[in-house]
Amino acid sequence: MPAIVRLPTVLRPHANGEARLDVNGETVGEIIDEIVRKFPGMETNLLGEDGSLHRFVNVYVNDEDVRYLDKMDTTVADGDELSILPAVAGG
Amino acid sequence: MTVYRGIDELIGETPILDVSQLSPNPNVQIFAKLEGSNPAGSVKDRIAKAMINDAEARGLLTPGQTIIEPSSGNTGIAMAMIASQRGYPIIVVVPESVSVERRQLLEIFGAEIIFTPGEQGSNGSVRVARQMADENPDWAFLYQYGNDSNPRAHYETTGPEILRDVPDISHFVAGLGTSGTLMGVGSYLKEIKKSVQIWAVEPPSGENVEGLRSLDDGFVPPVFERWGGQDLLDRKMIVRPRESIECARLLVKEAGLFAGISSGAALAGCRKAAARIESGVIVFVVCDYGWKYLSTGAWTSDLDSATASTEKIIYF
């Protein structure tokens, strides 16, 4: 069973308009690589020049921000939900 | 009893309430820092006072000068309260998706309100306020997202109050907006007591910002970057409106505490932390009370419709 990836409105045009993707991969990095392989237009939106996450992108596995877990090495189990969200202001 | 000579003297020194009955782990205590007890009703009173005092001291804010500030509500309300007493006209730029009570409070304290499209979220308000400040160089733009007085207010007051009242603290949990509370309190706590864990909770706000044209319109508060947010935080998690409301209801039922929706989110974060650790003492911030969110039906409607109306507003 693949992981469920939820895309924000701003990224959907790069994924044929899809809001949800089912992607195989055991880590966040593998899943992002797979997304970029399928939708090359996503690369500059998801990754910075050094291959780490784009500064205005937050990725959550089951609602936990992976920057505070193991970043790209964060493990993703079958059926986990991976949400990609733009960084926005609060306060 | 002290007689206070100005409303802003009442800011800070907020009480802490033991709400451990809500802990899922008998070896973990949960304490609520009641920032809703500030006079304008939220934790933002502290930063409003600090930013205005600092700008006055540095000559950046002079008598009668107009203040402009982007805010999703609470900072604007707090600044308007202080500005009304010190004779500063104030313009607050807010997303139109804030609760009706937040708008009303801004009006009550005499602010001029400029609305930005709800689908742009707070990012839209930041952009418009910045643009207006550029066009009107005679106005004072204190800019909570980039003003070090914001985290410093928490480093100097909220953090020391917490450690003084709860020296056994093991975890600090607060909502992430400008990041001021987490950066200021977090830096103070870790400086004095390195083992304290700092957990941030946030709403799924990026989901509702439909108006973002590209990711380059994204926003990370300068305060977060300057204060080393990524190293300071130990965990950051989304808490969704439904769970936030459920926890806000639990606070009323089990502790008689009528806290705002973002405080419900913070409690949810505490309960997750409590379930994962063996023992500890968690302090979380009740950033405001529930009054400003009554119109969402969070306590009075069925959970589905309360969740649906909360999803439409900015409540952090």
Task: Report chain A residues whose CB lies below 8 A from the CB of B177.
Answer: 89-91
Cβ contact B235–A64 (<8 Å): yes
Task: Report chain B residues whose CB lies below 8 A from the CB of A63.
Answer: 237-240
In this model, does residue A51 exceed pLDDT 90?
Answer: no
The answer to whether residue A37 is domain-embedded is yes
A59 interfacial to chain B (CB closer than 8 Å)? no
In this model, does residue A43 exceed pLDDT 90?
Answer: yes
The answer to whether residue A33 is domain-embedded is yes
Give the residue numbers of B annotated as catalytic, written as ranges.
44, 262
- Domain coverage including residue A71: 3-86
Min Cα distance B72 → chain A (Å) is 5
pTM above 0.80, yes or no: yes
Q: Nearest by CB to A85, from B180, B206, B219: name it.
A: B206
The answer to whether residue A91 is domain-embedded is no
Given this model, what pLDDT does residue B40 score? 98
The answer to whether residue A64 is domain-embedded is yes
- Confidence category of residue A89, pLDDT binned at 50, 70, 90: confident
Domain total of chain A: 1
Given this model, what pLDDT does residue B198 score? 98
In this model, does residue A1 exceed pLDDT 80?
Answer: no
What mean pLDDT comes out for the span B27-54? 98
Q: Nearest by CB to A90, from B178, B237, B239: name it.
A: B178
CATH code for the domain in which residue A63 is found: 3.10.20.30
The answer to whether residue A70 is domain-embedded is yes
Given this model, what pLDDT does residue B260 score? 97
pLDDT per residue as tens digits for the range B198-248:
999 999 987 767 777 777 778 899 999 999 999 999 999 999 999 999 999
Given this model, what pLDDT does residue A91 score? 60
C-alpha B47/C-alpha A76 separation (Å) is: 39
Min Cα distance B2 → chain A (Å) is 32
Domains of chain B (ranges, CATH numbers): 7-42+155-311 (3.40.50.1100), 44-141 (3.40.50.1100)
Cβ contact A89–B235 (<8 Å): no
Q: Nearest by CB to B218, from A9, A83, A88: name it.
A: A88
Q: B311 vs B42, which has greater pLDDT?
A: B42
pLDDT per residue as tens digits for the range A15-42:
999 999 999 999 999 999 999 999 999 9
pLDDT per residue as tens digits for the range B76-127:
999 999 999 999 999 999 999 999 999 999 999 999 999 999 888 888 999 9
Q: Is B61 within 8 Å of B81 (Cβ atoms)? A: no
The answer to whether residue A31 is domain-embedded is yes
Q: Nearest by CB to B122, from A56, A67, A88: name it.
A: A88
Cβ contact A54–B215 (<8 Å): yes
Task: Report chain A residues whose CB lies below 8 A from the CB of B234.
Answer: 68
The answer to whether residue A18 is domain-embedded is yes
- Confidence category of residue B65, pLDDT binned at 50, 70, 90: very high
Best A12, A46, A84, A88 residue to mutate vs chain B (most B CBs within 10 Å)? A88
CA distances from B233 to A57, A63, B196, B219 (A): 17, 16, 10, 18
Q: What sign results for the dihedral spanned by CA atoms B179, B316, B31, B149?
A: positive
What mean pLDDT comes out for the span A1-12? 91
Given this model, what pLDDT does residue B120 score? 87
The answer to whether residue A41 is domain-embedded is yes
